[in-house]
Amino acid sequence: MRNKIQLLAGLLLIFNFLSSIGIADDCTYNCTPEEKALTVNIMRDLDTGQTISNREQIDRQKWTTADTIVEAATYVVMYMDYKQTTEIAKNHSPGRHYSERNPFLPRHPTIGEVNSVFILSALAHPVISYALPQPLRKIWQYSYIAIEGYCVYANYRIGLDF
């Protein structure tokens, strides 16, 4: 029970942090046209080869409410997988031989190993999401949800509830 409370408290702290962060921009909204012209940093866009301004680059990096919602959905499926994986760790009885297929865990993990991997995942995922520019961020987040969702579904089909 203590581990569940610690995990949920950690997830709530991370979610609270994610909802409050944003990218600072010192001359986007409250500056003169001359100041804006001075702050334009010409960069090559790797996708199209076109030049883009600081403002356009910042818009691509900005964390949105939609990003927070998708990140929360990530935690929902991550928690479901966590619950199923702890059941795998608890059930070593004859006739109920579940084995873990996560490459970051042994086939028969302990509760401590499960907790470590999932806490690390819960901490690393939002950091990686925040660091990625918008097109890659969306791919990263939705791919993670799809993979976790498939794992939860596959575990559910073999009899593991969450």
Residue 12 and residue 56 share a domain: no
47 and 71 housed in the same domain: no
- Range of weakest confidence among 14-23, 97-106, 129-138: 14-23
Instruction: Give the pLDDT of residue 89.
Output: 86
Specify the pLDDT at position 93: 56
44 occurs within a structural domain: yes
Phi-psi region of 140 (alpha: psi -120 to 50; beta: other; left: phi over 0): alpha
Residues 72 and 55 in one domain: no
Within a domain: residue 143? yes
In terms of domains, do 80 and 148 share one? yes
Confidence tier at 91 by pLDDT (50, 70, 90):
confident
Total domains in the chain come to: 2
Establish if 138 belongs to a structural domain.
Answer: yes
Q: Are residues 41 and 101 in the same domain?
A: no
Give the per-residue pLDDT at 132: 92
Q: Based on the domain organization, do 16 and 96 belong to the same domain? A: yes
Does a structural domain hold residue 162?
Answer: no
Type of residue found at 67: D
3-state secondary structure of 43: strand
Domain assignment of residue 128, yes or no:
yes
> Residue 53: exposed, middle, or buried by beta-carbon count in 10 A (0-12, 13-18, 19+)?
middle
Q: Which residues contact 30 (CB under 8 A, 6 or more apart)?
A: none
Is residue 123 in some structural domain?
A: yes
State the pTM of this model: 0.61
CA dist 152 and 126 (Å) reads 20
Same-domain check for residues 115 and 45: no
* Residue found by looking up tokens 């076109």 in the block: 50
Mean pLDDT of 40-54: 49
Side-chain half-sphere exposure of 11, counting CA atoms within 13 A: 21
Q: Do residues 47 and 90 share a domain?
A: no
Is 32 a member of any domain? Answer: yes
With pLDDT > 90 as the criterion, what percentage of the chain qualifies? 37
Tell me the residue range of the domain where 118 lies.
Answer: 2-22+63-157
Average pLDDT score, the chain: 74
**Same domain, yes or no, for 10 and 85?**
yes
Cα dist from 71 to 4, 62, 130, 141, 162, whole Å: 20, 14, 10, 7, 20
Asked if 41 and 73 sit in the same domain, the reply is no
Inter-axis angle of helices 111-131 and 2-20, to 10 degrees?
0
* In contact, 131 and 22? CB cutoff 8 Å: no
Question: In terms of domains, do 118 and 140 share one?
Answer: yes
Do 99 and 110 fall into the same domain?
yes
